[in-house]
Amino acid sequence: LHRHREHSANAENLLPEVSNPGHGSSQHGAPTFPVIPEPVHPAPEVVQPAVDAYQAAAEVAHSARTLHQNEVHSPISTGRVFYGIMFDAGSTGSRIHIYKFIQKDPVELPVLDNEIYHAVKPGLSSYKDNPEEGGNTIRQLLKIAKKAIPKEAWSRTPVVLKATAGLRMLPEEKANALLKEVQEVLDDSPFFVREDGVSIMNGANEGVLAWVTVNFLTGHLYSNTRKTVGILDLGGGSTQITFLPKSKKTIETAPVTYISNFDLFNHTYKVYTHSYLGNGLYAARLAILGAKDANDVEDRVFTSSCFPKKYRGEVTIFGTTYKVSGIPDGYAGYKLCYYEVMKVIKGIVHQPYEVKGNSIFYAFSYYFDRANDTGLIDDRGGVLEVRDFKKRAKEVCNKMTKYGAINPFLCMDMTYITCLLKEGFGFKDSTVLQLTKKVNNVETSWALGATFDYFRNLNI
């Protein structure tokens, strides 16, 4: 299954920069890049700089050779246009984001010109027993980058792959085999590859970088309004919540690891962020069904009152196929399904003090997809309240014959989303959610934020 879109981004989406006095003295023969002054932006909600710029845990990188054999310098732009390639290796699919940046004036920041996005299914973790085939999916996506980026820019265009919950949940040996295979695929490409170019992303970083992407694209990091928006990302294997607290009590009552400091746009931000591994939509399905750690999956049928009573079927999750069914001599519906779902949320998800207020959150990934599947929003997205998910979940579960034809898991998924928002995070019924797949024609995900961060590390 392939999805392909090319976006033309809002010209105001500027790439963050850091000062780089060293470029003027690059080695002989290496391309030079115009020195760009530090940006000066109004601070939305700035806290005092922390001792550690970024307290999130280090990512797990697969070591490989630092550069291609023919590379002797960092990939720095010689002209007006430069590119970056970011792979999002998710639990249910692999996506390539190809960003084009334009340096319009040597004394101004570059602008994000457009994004090319393409996705394939399933995710890398489904190839846990066949790493070479997993590597082939990345190789196919690289062909799109070769078509999109001029040949003369290949050697100075960085390519990065970050894997998320799908690989985090695999045994270390299988995850490393996939990383090694992917590293070899990237090394064989004509693009610039650094030794930390393939890694399993730390979950906290996933939330922070998605927050950066959304607030950058919505203009909140540049505005004088002193407002930012929170983000809710529901993937297949994990889910993230990130927001900039307005109340000291939110920080004081949060587990210490849920508060992260990071530097961006010459400011230090202190955000509440956490990634719940195992609480993504597909991982939650396994937990609700009691199939999460089951060994005898071939001989078992996993039942749930979230399915129509007479339903029988099979589902493949993270590369393993499970037999599932309703409860023929039992009951089905929203209340019973909610009870089942509660068991995988209650006591696991922390309720931040502040979300009981009136903050606005952008929700994407499976929040968007399921709202779209059930008619709450169209393909353009829209604004919902938490109560809208609850109301539609009840309707889906109590009219399973109608909605079951769309997807037999709709009742379970919608009930899980409702329970996660209300019982998990503690949102009020009236909390406003902005459901979106893209902002200013750029995909809402952590990928753009990660590209910014990577360019900073390369001092571009």
Catalytic residues: 206
Distance (Å, whole) CA 449 – CA 161: 13
The DSSP 8-state label assigned to residue 50 in this structure reads: P
The token pair at 180 is: 């090694």
Residues in contact with 272: Cβ distance below 8 Å, sequence separation at least 6, in sequence order? 241, 242, 243, 244, 245, 250, 251, 254, 258, 259, 352, 354
| 240 annotated ligand-binding residue | yes
Residue type, 316: T
| 290 annotated ligand-binding residue | no
Q: 350-364 burial, b if ≥16 CB within 10 A, otherwise e? A: bebbbbeeebebbbb
The token pair at 391 is: 């109301």
| 424 annotated ligand-binding residue | no
Total length of the chain? 460
| 199 annotated ligand-binding residue | no
Checking DSSP bridges between strand 438-439 and strand 432-435, what pairing results, if any? unpaired
Distance (Å, whole) CA 385 – CA 394: 15
Backbone angles phi, psi at 388, to 5 degrees: -70, -40
Distance (Å, whole) CA 213 – CA 296: 42
| 253 annotated ligand-binding residue | no
21 upstream amide cis, omega within 30 of 0: no
Q: Taking each helix axis as running N to C, give the angle between helix 386-398 and helix 410-419, from 0 to 180 degrees, rounded to the nearest 10.
A: 150
Binding-site residues: 236-240
Binding-site residues for ATP: 236-240
